[in-house]
Chain A
Amino acid sequence: MQTIPIVTATADMVLAKDVKRSDNPDGPPLCGKGVVLTSSLINRLENMGIKTVTVEGHPVWIEGDVTIEQQLAALERRFKKVANLPLMQSLMEMYRLQILRSMGEADGR
């Protein structure tokens, strides 16, 4: 799944997460996971102040986006100095999963 700015959402994308109001994250969802977006729905969400939505796959290629391989290599390099510490290893693993998820792989669902 990928979280994208609502302005880049297009019809036919599928919500991978409930859409909630950012000023009331514990309230009822405005729109449920699994719903297929339409342009009128996108408009309505935008008007309600929704800034981002999480959708299935990795449909939007934002400028500056890099490939999974590049992202994982950069991650490993960042952790180079602390790779021997168990806690930092688990932190790196968390970020590895985040990267995979954001690129639409291993959704972990």
Chain B
Amino acid sequence: MDDKRTQVRNIIKDTKSLPTLPGIITKLNELSANSKSTIQEMARLVSSDQVLSARILRLVNSPSYGFYRVSTISNAMILLGIDVVKSLCLSSSIFELMETTALGLWEHSLGAGVAANIISHKLKIPESEEISTAALLHDIGKVIIKIKFQEEHEQLLEIIRKREISSREAERELLGTDHAEVGGWLAKSWFLPDKLLEPIAFHHEVHKSETHQTKTAVVHLADVLIKASGFGFSGEEFVPRIQPAAWKKLNMNVQLLEEIVTELEEKLIEVKNFSLDIQASHVQ
């Protein structure tokens, strides 16, 4: 089974084999590495891609971010930060794939982004935009597994359904790795910052997150809550437990949890509309 794991890892490492990494990310990486380049230059680059700009503006204006009426890419970049826009470019291309290949997973990810935003605001945790982005991307490994290992993916779905086990258990059995680890590899090969990488790689094993455990804990809790609410479909039906490490790290209590759940359920109605909106715009 370790052979399989190596095989998966090599495929992820070979970024050329990933059709989803847009050239614009590479250019953005170059620009942001150069201290002389300005936000305007980067904004111009992003704006050159109409579809991408439209999507970024939609995301910035979506309820999960709570900024309203952001109409220019450079404002989006100032508000969200360059790192976030970079990962939005990334996630928007991933989302494009998800929307067409796995709408349920897309809704699950969007919902987790919203939940993470609510949790970090409620608990007054800084860098909530980054946490939301990490939550949007947390199951990115599932997308890659679906695209790159279509045959195994079919089997995975069947095993999960028949034996009522979790995605991770099924993935470990069949691929020798799981979507969290795969997501971590992917984040690494895309040079995403650790504050995005750790929540992606450890959202099912919060205690293993070293430098960004709070962010990882938020993403984990967001994932559990969105599963509990039955919003979207992550690929498995059952709600996992809230990990004690996350509960402790976030200093949670039942009262706070209840407030978060109530706020989340209200917000999800808006998100449902937003998601219907995007589907409608695709039909046009």
A→B interface (CB under 8 Å): 3-5, 22-23, 49, 51-52, 54, 74-75, 77-82, 85, 87-88, 90-92, 94-95, 98, 102
Task: Determine which of A51, A80, A91 lies in contact with B261 in the assembled complex, contact meaning CB atoms within 8 Å.
Answer: A91
> Quick check: B254 and A90 within 8 Å, CB to CB?
yes
Determine the distance from Cα of A90 to Cα of B270 in the docked complex, in whole angstroms.
Answer: 26
User: Number of contact residues on B: which range applies?
Assistant: 20 to 34
- Tell me the dominant secondary structure on chain A's binding face: helix
> Quick check: B68 and A49 within 8 Å, CB to CB?
yes
Instruction: Specify which chain A residues have a CB less than 8 angstroms from the CB of B241 in the assembled complex.
Output: 82, 85, 87-88
> Quick check: B227 and A78 within 8 Å, CB to CB?
yes
Q: A22-B66, A52-B269, A75-B230 are in contact. Are A94 and B261 (CB under 8 A)?
A: yes
Question: Is B240 located at the chain interface by the 8 A CB criterion?
Answer: yes
Question: Is B257 located at the chain interface by the 8 A CB criterion?
Answer: yes
What residue in chain A is nearest B274 (Cβ atoms)? Answer: A51
In the complex, how many angstroms separate the beta carbon of B275 from the nearest chain A beta carbon?
A: 12
> Quick check: A102 and B238 within 8 Å, CB to CB?
no
What residue in chain B is nearest A6 (Cβ atoms)? Answer: B273
> Quick check: A3 and B266 within 8 Å, CB to CB?
yes
> Quick check: A80 and B228 within 8 Å, CB to CB?
no
> Quick check: A95 and B228 within 8 Å, CB to CB?
yes
Instruction: Specify which chain A residues have a CB less than 8 angstroms from the CB of B164 in the assembled complex.
Output: 81
Determine the distance from Cα of A77 to Cα of B239 in the docked complex, in whole angstroms.
Answer: 9
Q: A5-B273, A22-B66, A74-B230 are in contact. Are A88 and B238 (CB under 8 A)?
A: no
Instruction: Specify which chain B residues have a CB less than 8 angstroms from the CB of A85 in the assembled complex.
Output: 241
What residue in chain A is nearest B258 (Cβ atoms)? Answer: A94
> Quick check: B265 and A51 within 8 Å, CB to CB?
no
In B188-236, the 8 Å CB interface with A consists of 227-230
In the complex, how many angstroms separate the beta carbon of A59 from the nearest chain B beta carbon?
A: 14
Q: List 29 A-B contacts (CB under 8 A).
A: A3-B266, A4-B269, A22-B66, A23-B66, A23-B68, A23-B69, A49-B68, A52-B266, A52-B269, A78-B227, A78-B228, A78-B237, A78-B239, A81-B238, A81-B239, A81-B240, A85-B241, A87-B247, A87-B254, A88-B239, A88-B241, A90-B257, A91-B242, A91-B261, A94-B258, A94-B261, A95-B228, A98-B265, A102-B265
Instruction: Specify which chain A residues have a CB less than 8 angstroms from the CB of B176 in the assembled complex.
Output: none
> Quick check: B273 and A88 within 8 Å, CB to CB?
no
In the complex, how many angstroms separate the beta carbon of A77 from the nearest chain B beta carbon?
A: 7
Known: A80-B238, A94-B257, A95-B229. 16 other contacts (CB 8 A): A22-B63, A49-B68, A51-B63, A75-B230, A81-B238, A81-B240, A82-B240, A87-B242, A87-B254, A88-B242, A90-B254, A91-B228, A95-B228, A98-B261, A98-B262, A98-B265
Determine the distance from Cα of A85 to Cα of B247 in the docked complex, in whole angstroms.
Answer: 14
Task: Determine which of B230, B257, B273 lies in contact with A91 in the assembled complex, contact meaning CB atoms within 8 Å.
Answer: B257
Task: Determine which of B237, B254, B261, B273 lies in contact with A95 in the assembled complex, contact meaning CB atoms within 8 Å.
Answer: B261
> Quick check: A78 and B257 within 8 Å, CB to CB?
no
> Quick check: B261 and A52 within 8 Å, CB to CB?
no
In B239-274, the 8 Å CB interface with A consists of 239-242, 247, 254, 257-258, 261-262, 265-266, 269-270, 273
> Quick check: B273 and A51 within 8 Å, CB to CB?
yes
Instruction: Specify which chain B residues have a CB less than 8 angstroms from the CB of A91 in the assembled complex.
Output: 228, 239, 242, 257, 261
Instruction: Specify which chain B residues have a CB less than 8 angstroms from the CB of A79 in the assembled complex.
Output: 228, 238-239
In the complex, how many angstroms separate the beta carbon of B224 from the nearest chain A beta carbon?
A: 8
